[in-house]
Amino acid sequence: MEKLRTATEEENAKIAEKKKKIEEQLKDVEPLLKEARSAVGSIKSESLSEIRSLRAPPEAIRDILQAVLLFMGILDTSWEAMRKFLSKSSVKDEIINFDAHRITRDVHKKVSALVKSKEASFDPKNAKRASVAAAPLAAWVTANLQYSEILEKISPLEQEKNELVSNLSKAEKQIQKLSKGLLTVDEKVAALKEKFEMLMKEATQIKIDLEKEQDTIKVAGTLIDRLGGEFTRWQAQMESLSKEMDNVIISEQLWEKLRDCLRPSFLLFHKNNCMVKVERCALVTAAFVTYLGGCSEHTRMEVLKSFRQNYNLQDFSPVTFCATETEQLNWKNHGLPADSLSIENTVIMLNSTQTPLVIDPTGRVAAFLHSFHPKSELLRATQNDLFTQIEFGIRFGKTIIVDDVTDVDAVLVPIFRKELSSQGPRQVTLPSAPKLAPSLFVNEGLTVC
């Protein structure tokens, strides 16, 4: 295989050398031939028609066309044959694409003798004087004649090159055949490797599965050991759930269903007890929303602790009483911080009947309110048309958030206090405030931040 490749490389080097010698011989003639072909391509159809229309052509035209016909392999060199050749629509393409290798030794002798005997006819000036189309054809004949002479000289070189190319082709075919054999062997080796790797993977997987099963057995043993204390934990959880059930408001539909399965005395006692606890929870929540909004976190904890002790509400939370887990999660999704203080402030803010004043140095509460009320309008306390915007907002039921408040203007106090007076069928605020339509007022409609 390596010997064949070496021999192939040597053959390629010899071919390149022969090709270089051939190109060296042809380098002077090829530009002339290309120029002649270009000149033939520029011949106008009218010039060929003009020659074809002649009854008795000049001698120069006849001699040039005779040489062209001989190169084309047309032995009939009569004027009719010449006119027929010129009448072809592809005559210029045939002449331009003519391959000089088609010129035989006999044709070369005839054309060479014709050019020597009629040397004046192939002179560029005489040819051009005879016809505009004749001069390019004469140049083409002369160039092809010179090209064929060189081809005849280098024919031994071309034969050697062709033999080398043939030998190279045979060597390449042999290399391809050997490569296919090697490829088959490589494929078999690859298949065996793949099978070996698959068996190794299966063995590794079996080992991994075995280790997993052993780990599962260990975990199961640990779980069995730990289940011994689960009963105690479940009992404590059941007691905690029972206490929480005492704070649940039981609907009238549920009481109707329980009435059929519980004793009347127990039912009355439980319902009255539950309603009393709900009333206490509502009372504590109302106090939390109304009075503890401006207090610190520590004060809130102490007051709520006192409320729970006084009203026997050990695990009660105003936050869970006013807002479900879903509502709290919705607040967080709108940007509310997750700490307990922020959630308590939101419960107070959303359940208060008064317009809340929020101290928000970070701006997160304002962003939360704007996100929670997507149709809200955010105003600045410093803008000139603040009162007009508030008037329009309350009149048309908009939610308004006023930001950057340093002090509250007296004109807004009647709005915050809801001090309304009647003028006929309309309700308006006191004279110091803008004219409003309080029937469109919303609890959280005005939030001062």
**Residue 386 CB partners (closer than 8 Å, separation 6+):** 379, 380, 402
Strands 400-403 and 377-380: parallel
**Residue 350 CB partners (closer than 8 Å, separation 6+):** 444
Give the domains, in start order, of the chain with CATH numbers.
Answer: 1-176 (1.20.920.60)
Q: What pLDDT was estimated at residue 262? A: 41
Distances (CA, A) of 72 to 106, 198, 225, 419: 13, 70, 107, 117
Q: Could you count the other beta carbons within 10 Å of the beta carbon of residue 171?
A: 18
Strands 420-423 and 426-429: antiparallel
Residues in the chain: 449
CB-count exposure of residue 324 (10 Å: 0-12, 13-18, 19+) = exposed
Q: By three-state DSSP, how is residue 427 classified?
A: strand
Instruction: Specify whether the CB–CB gap between 82 and 69 falls below 8 A.
Output: yes
Instruction: Give the torsion sign (CA, 402, 335, 360, 446).
Output: positive
pLDDT tens digits, the chain, 449 residues: what are they? 555 556 555 555 555 555 555 555 555 666 766 776 777 777 777 877 888 888 878 888 888 888 888 888 888 888 888 888 888 888 888 888 888 778 888 888 888 888 888 888 888 888 888 888 888 888 888 888 877 777 777 666 566 666 666 666 766 777 677 677 677 777 888 888 888 888 888 888 998 988 888 888 888 888 777 776 666 766 776 776 566 555 544 444 544 554 454 444 333 434 455 556 777 888 888 889 988 888 888 998 999 889 888 888 877 888 888 888 888 899 999 999 888 888 889 999 888 887 788 888 888 888 888 888 888 888 888 888 888 888 787 777 778 888 888 877 787 777 777 775 555 555 444 444 443 333 232 333 344 44
Instruction: Give the torsion sign (CA, 30, 33, 37, 43).
Output: positive
What pTM does this model have?
A: 0.39
Question: Can you list the positions of beta strands (E) in 332-440?
Answer: 377-380, 400-403, 420-423, 426-429
Q: What pLDDT was estimated at residue 439? A: 29
